[in-house]
Amino acid sequence: MYLRRLLLPLLLSLGACSLPLTDSPPGETAAPAAISTRTTAPTLPPSPAPTDPPPTATPEFVPGMPGPLGYQWSIVADGIQKPVAIGHAGDGRLFIAEQRGVVLVLQDGIVLQEPFLDIRDRVNSSSFEQGLLGLAFDPEFARSGEFYVNYTDAGGDTMISRFTARLGEGPTDPSTESAVLRIDQPFTNHNGGDLHFGPDGFLYIATGDGGLRDDTFGNGQNLDTLLGKLLRIKVGAAEPYAIPGDNPFAAGGGRPEIWAYGLRNPWRFSFDSRTGDLYIGDVGQDRWEEIDFLAAGSPSGANFGWKLREGKHPFASQVTEGLIDPVAEYPNPADGCSVTGGVVVRDPELPAWRGVYLYGDYCSGEIWGLLRDASGLWQNSKLFSTPFNISSFGTGVDGAVYLADHNGGIYRLERSP
């Protein structure tokens, strides 16, 4: 029996989060407000506009939504322990992060016996939403061997750390860890966890509002905390990091690491590898799951509305001015209970899917496609019904699209035989 069938009744009583279960009992005493670790990170001058930027702010219009007939999710690996992230380092390997604190390598269709990284000795995965939650490779990984992880430590706080891999094959020495950022967490849920390098070369980090529910401390709209935000920092320029000069609060008025705010639990986000557009899957509370969007070149400081709103709907306020609507939403629990943000398809073997953003739901196993049509309107369609607890999507260096089933399988979108 699938894990989601066991969890769903409790989920519906507590409200969604992601990974979707709240472990704290309903009567738990509120913890002190979280205080994010402050640093003396230097501020860089605003980034000059590149002469030939890889992303473009020009919207891409997709002719139409492909039909799911003739396509399937084919298993490529099984027996993984609670996979939560999939990524690549610019070579032919696929890296799979297990929630317990292990990163595996899928190479030539085989999961290598020797882990790429094993940090179980410092990862706290005792609660359903804790553990090793995110993985990102430095754009210069082939030269530097550096990569970054997001995990919850022994005290339950968020750690963003850098590791240095051996160039070539072999395991990473855990002693190469260098702490970049630590964020205090008041509860065990709503840790966010994803991180990616953007097309601008900066590291983006997604953080949840800290839990328990109802954004207990109002962190989503509080600019003096790193919780409930999308952060943007420059790694490699200074230790532990530097602040990009064009971050919205680099000169004051809020935490300088903040790039966007008003998020509840952005469990998975991604950049379109061709356009640089940003998509965020933000897990709702009791009624609405949402996909947020920022086109490449959008101004910083976007406010996605939590907890003033849940999706497009009032939650704690009727305020709408200055808030950015999601480009897609679906009802909870009718269509699921915890959105898992996805990826834009760029697989050359799937030309009909080019430019379509795929995302899913952890509880229902449903998978949707999202695109902007020739009239500039967003189209959203349910495409696949699966038995999976979808914990993540990812891509290979060749553009292949993968999903992780939290029960242990890794699947690739392919043409049916």
User: For position 39, what pLDDT does the model report?
Assistant: 54
Please report, in tens digits, the pLDDT of each residue of the chain (417 residues total).
333 434 443 343 334 555 544 333 333 333 334 445 555 688 887 655 433 344 445 667 788 899 999 999 999 999 999 999 999 999 999 999 999 999 999 999 999 999 999 999 999 999 999 999 999 999 999 999 999 999 999 999 999 999 999 987 789 999 999 999 999 999 999 999 999 999 999 999 999 999 999 999 999 999 999 999 999 999 998 999 999 999 999 999 999 999 999 999 999 999 999 999 999 999 999 999 999 999 999 999 999 999 999 999 999 999 999 999 999 999 999 999 999 999 999 999 999 999 999 999 999 999 999 999 988 899 999 999 999 999 999 999 999 999 999 999 999 999 999
Tokens of 57: 């702010």
Tokens of 29: 């005493």
Evaluate the omega torsion of the peptide bond into residue 14 and state whether it is cis, within 30 degrees of 0: no
pTM recorded for the entire structure: 0.91
Q: Among candidates 404, 409, 394, which has minimal Cα distance to 93?
A: 394
Sign of CA dihedral 404, 395, 123, 212: negative
Ranges of each domain in the chain: 3-20+74-415
Cα gap 179→395, rounded to integer Å: 27
In one-letter notation, the amino acid at residue 357 is Y
Residue 224 CB neighbour total at 10 angstroms: 13
In one-letter notation, the amino acid at residue 401 is V
Length of the chain: 417
User: For position 38, what pLDDT does the model report?
Assistant: 54
Cα gap 105→103, rounded to integer Å: 7
User: For position 60, what pLDDT does the model report?
Assistant: 78
In one-letter notation, the amino acid at residue 147 is F
Fold of 3-20+74-415: Neuraminidase (2.120.10)
